[in-house]
C-alpha cells in the first residue's frame, strides 16, 4: 500500500538514501498502547508534509477558537513535516501515520478515538480510510486538487478512486477539480478554494519584525530567493552578473540548509560579500544574506520587494502565497502546471514564469520600477479575493454534526 501511495507522492521527499531510511524508520514506530485521553470532540488531521499542514492550520485554529475543549491530533507522512511540527502548541499529539495495513488502521483509531477525520490535499490511504468509513466517522478531504493524469483515474487506480464517494465531503481548490469529479458521478464535492490563502493572510497580519533582516536591507530594494534549489541559485547567480542587478540586496533561503550546501552557496556568491544569518552583524558591503536557519522566511518577505520562489524548475513549486500576502510579486520556473495558484497569480499579473536571467531582468524592471506603486496592492487584493475556504469548511462541518 505504501508503494501505491508513492505514486501520488512528490518524489522530492525521497531524494537520497538517508531520506528513504528516515521515512521507513519513522513509519515503523508503534502505536501507543491504551486510549489517548480527551475532553471535548477530537479532530484527527492527516497531512503529508509541512505544506499540507499549513493548509490544515487555519481550520485547526478555527476549531480551537470555536471551542477550546476541542482536541486536535495530527499525523504526518513525511519526516520533514513531523520534524518541524512535532511540538505544535494546538495539538494534543503529533505522530507519524503508521504503515497502511488493516491492523494498524484499527489500532490507530482505537487509540485516537477521533470524532472527525480530516485528510489534506492528496492523502488517500486505503486501509486507514476504510477503517474510518466502517466506523461511520465524518471524514473530509480539504484543499484537494484532481488532475486527469493522476493514478486514481487510471484503471490500475480504480480501487483508490472507489474511496472518494465515501468521504462525507471533498473540498476542492479549483473549478477543474470540481467538474472532473462531478463528471465521474461524485455528488459529495464542494468548490471551496485553498485554505492556505486564509493562513498566509492571517500570518501577514501577525508576523513579528526581524531586526536582523531589516538592518541588512538598510532601505534598499531586496530580492528574496525563497526555498531555493540549485536551479534557482544558478539563475540568481547569472542574474547578478549584470552590474545593475548586483546593486540590490539579496537574501537566499535555501530548501537545503545542510552545512555542505550553505558552504557551496557562500563560495558561489563570494563576489557579492555574502554573510550568514547566524553570522556577524551586516555591513554596507554585504550584498547577500544566506538564511542558514529554519523559521525566518516569513519575516523576510515583509522586507522583500521581489521574490523568486523555488521548485518551479523541478517537480514541486514551493509556497508563492506567502510573499504575495505581503504585497510582494513572485517569479518562478516553468514547471508549475500542477499548481492552480500559479496560474491564477499569473492571470492576476502578480506572478510570472522566468526561464533565464534576461526574463528575470525584464520582470524585475517592470515590478520594481514601472509598476512599483501599484503592484503591492494588486498582490494583497489577489490574496483577499481567494481567501475564505476555512469558513466554508467550518460551516459544512458544523452543519453535518462535526462541530
Q: Do domains 2-193+388-399 and 210-386 have the same CATH topology?
A: yes
Examine the pLDDT at 65 and tell me if it is beyond 80.
yes
Written as nine digits, the cell of 322 is 506567502
Tell me the per-residue pLDDT of 16-31, one tens digit each, with 9 for 90 and over: 455 555 555 655 566 8
Contacts 24+ apart (CB under 8 A), 197-200: 197/321, 197/383, 197/386, 197/387, 197/388, 197/389, 198/58, 198/387, 198/388, 198/389, 198/390, 198/391, 199/54, 199/55, 199/57, 199/58, 200/319, 200/321, 200/322, 200/324, 200/325, 200/383
Tell me which fold the domain 210-386 belongs to.
Rossmann fold (3.40.50)
May I ask the CATH class of domain 2-193+388-399? Answer: alpha beta
Least confident of 26-35, 103-112, 121-130, 209-218: 26-35
Examine the pLDDT at 355 and tell me if it is beyond 50.
yes
Domain ranges of the chain: 2-193+388-399, 210-386
Mean pLDDT of 57-61: 96
User: What is the Cα–Cα distance from 94 to 112, expressed in whole angstroms?
Assistant: 11
Task: State residue 9's pLDDT score.
Answer: 47
Angle between helix 102-112 and 126-134 (nearest 10): 50
Task: State residue 23's pLDDT score.
Answer: 56
pLDDT-derived band at 285, boundaries 50, 70, 90: confident
Examine the pLDDT at 352 and tell me if it is beyond 50.
yes
Examine the pLDDT at 358 and tell me if it is beyond 90.
yes
Task: State residue 319's pLDDT score.
Answer: 95
Examine the pLDDT at 375 and tell me if it is beyond 80.
yes
Amino acid at each position: 500500500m505504501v508503494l501505491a501511495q508513492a505514486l501520488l507522492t512528490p518524489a522530492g521527499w525521497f531524494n537520497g538514501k538517508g531520506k528513504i531510511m528516515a521515512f521507513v524508520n519513522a513509519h515503523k514506530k508503534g502505536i501507543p498502547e491504551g486510549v489517548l485521553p480527551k475532553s471535548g470532540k477530537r479532530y484527527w488531521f492527516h497531512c503529508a508534509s509541512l505544506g499540507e499542514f499549513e493548509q490544515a492550520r487555519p481550520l485547526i485554529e478555527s476549531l480551537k477558537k470555536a471551542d477550546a475543549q476541542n482536541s486536535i491530533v495530527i499525523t504526518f507522512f513525511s519526516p520533514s513535516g513531523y520534524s518541524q511540527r512535532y511540538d505544535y502548541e494546538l495539538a494534543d499529539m503529533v505522530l507519524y501515520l503508521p504503515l497502511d495495513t488493516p491492523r494498524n488502521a484499527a489500532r490507530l483509531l482505537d487509540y485516537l478515538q477521533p470524532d472527525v477525520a480530516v485528510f489534506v490535499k492528496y492523502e488517500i490511504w486505503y486501509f486507514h480510510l476504510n477503517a474510518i468509513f466502517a466506523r461511520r466517522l465524518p471524514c473530509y478531504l480539504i484543499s484537494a486538487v484532481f488532475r486527469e493524469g493522476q493514478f486514481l483515474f487510471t484503471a490500475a487506480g480504480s480501487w483508490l478512486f472507489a474511496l472518494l464517494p465515501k468521504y462525507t465531503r471533498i473540498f476542492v481548490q479549483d473549478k477543474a477539480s470540481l467538474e472532473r469529479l462531478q463528471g465521474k458521478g461524485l455528488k459529495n464535492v464542494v468548490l471551496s478554494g485553498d485554505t492556505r490563502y486564509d493562513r498566509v493572510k492571517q500570518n501577514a497580519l501577525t508576523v513579528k519584525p526581524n531586526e536582523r533582516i531589516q538592518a541588512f536591507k538598510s532601505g534598499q530594494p531586496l530580492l528574496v530567493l525563497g526555498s531555493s534549489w540549485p536551479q534557482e541559485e544558478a539563475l540568481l547567480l547569472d542574474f547578478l552578473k549584470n552590474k545593475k542587478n548586483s546593486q540590490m540586496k539579496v537574501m537566499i533561503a535555501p530548501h537545503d540548509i545542510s552545512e555542505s550546501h550553505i558552504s557551496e552557496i557562500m563560495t558561489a556568491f563570494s563576489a557579492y560579500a555574502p554573510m550568514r544569518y547566524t553570522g556577524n552583524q551586516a555591513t554596507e558591503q554585504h550584498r547577500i544574506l544566506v538564511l542558514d536557519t529554519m523559521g525566518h522566511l516569513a519575516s523576510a518577505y515583509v522586507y522583500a520587494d521581489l521574490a523568486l520562489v523555488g521548485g518551479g524548475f523541478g517537480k514541486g513549486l514551493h509556497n508563492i502565497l506567502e510573499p504575495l500576502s505581503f504585497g510582494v510579486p513572485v517569479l518562478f520556473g516553468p514547471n508549475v502546471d500542477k499548481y492552480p495558484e500559479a496560474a491564477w497569480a499569473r492571470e492576476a499579473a502578480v506572478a510570472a514564469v522566468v526561464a533565464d536571467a534576461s526574463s528575470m531582468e525584464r520582470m524585475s524592471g517592470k515590478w520594481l520600477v514601472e509598476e512599483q506603486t501599484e503592484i503591492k496592492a494588486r498582490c494583497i487584493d489577489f490574496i483577499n479575493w481567494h481567501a475564505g475556504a476555512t469558513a466554508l469548511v467550518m460551516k459544512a462541518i458544523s452543519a453535518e454534526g462535526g462541530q
